[in-house]
Amino acid sequence: MKPSLTLTRIGFGAAAIGNLYTAVSPETAQAAVDAAWSGGIRYFDTAPHYGLGVSEQRLGGALARYPRDEYVLSSKVGRLLRPGSTAGPDPGFAVESNLERVWDFSRDGVLRSIEESLTRLGTDRLDIVYLHDPDDHWAEAVDQAAPTLAELRDQGVIGAFGAGMNQSAMLTRFVRETSVDIVLVAGRLTLLDPSASLDLLPAARERNVTIVAAGVFNSGLLALPRPPQDARYDYVQAPPELIARADAIADVCEFHGVTLPEAAIAYPLRFSEVSSVLLGMRTPEEVTQNLGASDGKVPTQLWTDLAEKGLVTA
C-alpha cells in the first residue's frame, strides 16, 4: 500500500533561499519561510544541489521553530557534496565554497546523501526523498538508488520516494518500472509546455502516483501579467514566437479578469493527479505575491477559450 501524502496546494521551493542566481541574507530566508508558514504552506522542498547545501541549512534552521509533525519536508539524492580542489564562485548559485557536486546514485551514495542532508537540515527524518535529475544515470538510479529508497520507505526510515526531473519521458518510466510514490515534474506541465499530460499523467493515474508540478512559470516567461521582451524560458532567452504566444495567452486571461501568473499556477492543478504546485520563493514579498496569485478563481471558460484559440491543449 502506498503511503498517504498530504501536501498543501502550494509548496515552498527552497532553491531561491540557497542563493539561486543572487544572494539572499539568512534573515530574509527566515522571513520568507515564516511568511509561507503564516500563509498556510506546509510543504517545503530542498536539495543538496541548491547552493551547495546552503538551502538545506537555511530551510532546516527556519523550520526549527515549527512542530515537525505539522509539515512535509522533501530533499533529494544523486549529488553528493565533497571537498573540491579550489574554492570559488558556484555557477547558478551566488555562493563561494570549496565543495563540489559528485554524481552518485549508488546504494552507498544514497545512504550517505540522506545522512548528510539530515545533518544540514537539523532534523531526524525526511518525508519525501527524490532522485534528483537522473537523466544520464538511468541504470544506476533504477538498479541501485530506487530499490534503496524503496527499502528505506518500507522500513519507515523515509515517508515516500520518487524522482524529480525536467522531463516527463523518464519520469514516466520511473512510474511504470519502479515503486515510486510521487514524482516532481518541472516545466513540462505548464501553459506553454503541457507535454507531461500526454505520458506522465496517464501513467500516474494508472499507478496511483502523486505528481508535484514545478517550474510553472517556465523560468519567468509566465511570471508577470505581460511577458517582457527579454524574458527567459527554461533558463535561456525566450524566442520571439514563444513570447508572442505567452502574450496571446495573457490577452485571453485579461478578458476573463485573470493574470498570467494566476493561470500558470492554476493550470496544473486542473489535473486530479497533481497534489501541489511548487513555487520558488526568496522573500516574504514573493511569498505574498505567489499566495495571492494562487487564490484567484480561474473560470472554466478561460481554458475553453484558450483551447479554441489553439493556445493550450484542450
Which residues are known to be catalytic?
50
At 11, give phi and psi (nearest 5°).
-110, 155
Are the C-beta atoms of residues 21 and 93 closer than 8 Å to each other? yes
Are the C-beta atoms of residues 211 and 273 closer than 8 Å to each other? yes
Grouping H, G, I as helix, E, B as strand and the rest as coil, residue 79 is strand
Q: 297, 284, 296, 298: which is closest to 39 by C-alpha?
A: 284
Rounded distance between C-alpha atoms, residue 141 and residue 78, angstroms = 8
For residue 217, the 8-state DSSP code is: T
At 17, give phi and psi (nearest 5°).
-80, 0
- Structure-block grid coordinates of residue 114: 540522506
- Structure-block grid coordinates of residue 305: 477559450
Buried b (16+ CB within 10 A) or exposed e, 130-142: bbbbbeebeebbb
Please provide the size of the chain in residues: 314
For residue 296, the 8-state DSSP code is: S
Q: 203, 200, 202: which is closest to 184 by C-alpha?
A: 200
Q: 262, 260, 253, 256: which is closest to 291 by C-alpha?
A: 262
Rounded distance between C-alpha atoms, residue 289 and residue 304, angstroms = 26
- Structure-block grid coordinates of residue 135: 537523466
Rounded distance between C-alpha atoms, residue 268 and residue 278, angstroms = 11
